[in-house]
Amino acid sequence: MLARLKQMLIKEFIQVFRDKRTRAVLFGPPIIQMLIFGYAATFEIHHVPTVVLDLDHSQESRELISRFTSSPYFDVQRQLTDYRQIGDLIDRGEATVGLEINAGFAQNLRKGQTAPLQVIVDATNSNTALIASGYISQIALAFAQHYQQDRISRISPQMIEKIPSVQLEQRPWYNPDLRSRWFFVPGIIGSLILVLVVNLTAFAVVREREIGTLEQIMVTPIRPAEFILGKTLPFFLIGLFDVLLIATVGTLWFQVPFRGQILVLFAGAILFLLCMLGVGLLISTVSSTQQQAMVTAFFFVMPAITFSGFGFPISTMPQWLQYLTFLSPLRYFLIVLRGTYLKGVGMEVLWPQMVAMAGLGIGLLTVAVLRFHKALD
């Protein structure tokens, strides 16, 4: 058995690495995608196109505008003269945020009254609109507090120390600078490995069937179990190497800290790869051509990434959809990745995810092998 399996493995590795394009696909695109997605996948916004309509033309209004001008989150592009211009620019997509400071803004502040600031936000992209509104609130609040303190210091300096105030002192754990890239990079590692291993496994077996070499292999003394092991083991090793490669690039290039144990991470990676090999084999049993395998893999990959919590919190999904997320191995692997990278937790915390991936992996591989035996027969 070992001799036949050895020859099968040699055949698979020769078939994979003899083609220059295949070698490039295995190692080049994952690195490029890690770099591209690492920069593109982020919740942070910068240089939001902003226009301002200042009808007050006072020192106070100019100071408020200067806070937006100096902020890296907003790019004040134009000073308008008519309120109708704001709607026109937002409709044409030339501005995302419009600020309108009405006449009497400074006068209300000097009287100690509330001075409203009208903010118009293009909410076509709700995520950008929510984040931009939060930044605007912070800038406006900081301006109001500074103006109030300055006004009291001029009227009654001794009152400043007597006025009670509540100061928020933030202590974010695991990600002190609140960098969304630290959250996304571990997720990109899992997503890329999912796509790579599923496609490699499904396409490799289907290719054998499509070009007619599958029948030639089956007339040899090799057993079906040896054939399945020989077809999947090379892609398991390639996937494991890609985990190391992509994780190294993401960690060093994007400066994402790794605080956990490398053995815990690789234990999770091994269980996750077993799940993906089972999915790839299942796809190969229902596909006769590579085109069918590609379409079938697409119907698995997209829901698996969506239900994993990669970009959208699972808690925001409808309750019945949250139950479906337990069927996605990527959900558990992302917890392992982010737990080992950012939190530095070990097996004592991550064992439920390991058990879940082990159960899914055994179940998927069992079903895939049984169906594959029928397909071979």
For 70-167, where are the alpha helices, taking DSSP H only?
84-91, 105-110, 126-155
And the tokens for 211?
A: 């070009």
List helix spans (H) across the chain: 2-17, 20-40, 59-69, 84-91, 105-110, 126-155, 180-211, 213-218, 224-254, 262-285, 290-306, 319-324, 329-338, 347-376
Q: For position 84, what pLDDT does the model report?
A: 85
User: What integer is the mean pLDDT of 285-295?
Assistant: 80
Check: CB of residue 81 under 8 Å from CB of residue 99: no
Q: Per-residue pLDDT averaged across 155-184, rounded?
A: 76
Q: Please tell me the predicted confidence (pLDDT) of residue 215.
A: 62
Band of pLDDT at residue 330, cut at 50, 70 and 90: very high
User: Quick check: 269 and 354 in contact, CB under 8 A?
Assistant: no
Looking at the predicted structure, is the pLDDT value of residue 305 above 60?
yes
pLDDT confidence of 148, banded at 50, 70, 90? confident
pLDDT at 272 over 90: yes
Q: At a CB cut-off of 8 Å and minimum separation 6, what does 18 contact?
A: none
Those residues whose C-beta lies under 8 Å from the C-beta of residue 368, and which sit 6 or more positions away, are 277, 278, 279, 280, 281, 282, 285
CA angle, residues 316, 320, 322, in degrees to nearest 5:
45
Buried b (16+ CB within 10 A) or exposed e, 221-253: ebeeebbbbbbbbbbbebbbebbebbbebbbee
Confidence of residue 110 (pLDDT cuts 50, 70, 90): confident
Specify the domain boundaries for CATH 3.40.1710.10 within the chain. 48-159
Q: In the prediction, which pLDDT does 93 show?
A: 87
The predicted pLDDT at position 225 comes to 67
How sure is the predictor about 356, in pLDDT bands with cuts at 50, 70 and 90?
A: very high
The angle subtended at Cα 39 by Cα 34 and Cα 43, nearest 5°, is 120
Output the pLDDT for position 275: 92
Tell me the CATH architecture of domain 48-159.
3-Layer(aba) Sandwich (3.40)
Which two structure tokens, joined as six digits, stand for 19? 């083609």
What's the CA dihedral at 231, 234, 236, 239 to 10 degrees? -130
**Tell me, what's the pLDDT at 228?**
74
Q: What is the pLDDT of residues 253-264, one digit of tens each?
A: 888 889 989 999
- Two structure tokens written together for 170: 């933030």
Q: What angle do CA 272, 332, 323 make, to 5 degrees?
A: 125
**289 compared with 306, residue with greater pLDDT:** 306
Query: Which pLDDT band, with edges at 50, 70 and 90, does 229 fall under?
Result: confident
What does the pLDDT read at residue 199?
A: 83
Which tokens is 41 given?
Answer: 């996948």
Q: Per-residue pLDDT for 374 more than 60?
A: no
Give 144's pLDDT tier (boundaries 50, 70, 90): confident
Max mean pLDDT range (138-152, 186-200, 339-353): 339-353
Alpha carbons 150 and 106: distance in angstroms, whole number: 14
Instruction: Report whether 359 contacts 336 (CB < 8 A).
Output: no
pTM for this structure? 0.80
What was the pLDDT predicted at 3?
A: 64
Give residue-wise pLDDT tens across range 275-288: 998 898 888 877 77
Q: What is the pLDDT of residue 338?
A: 92
Residue 95's Cβ-count burial label (10 Å; 0-12, 13-18, 19+) is buried
- Given a cut of 70, whether residue 172 has pLDDT beyond it is yes
Q: What is the pLDDT of residues 178-211, one digit of tens each?
A: 788 888 888 888 988 898 888 888 877 777 777 6
Does 367 have pLDDT greater than 80?
yes
| Letter string b/e over residues 18-37, b meaning 16 or more CB atoms within 10 A of that residue's CB | eeeeeeeebeeebbebbeeb
Q: What is the pLDDT of residues 36-54, one digit of tens each?
A: 888 877 777 888 999 999 9
Q: How far from chain centre, in Å, is Cα 210? A: 35
Position 157 scores a pLDDT of 66
pLDDT at 125: 83
Q: How far apart are CA 41 and CA 37, in angstroms?
A: 5
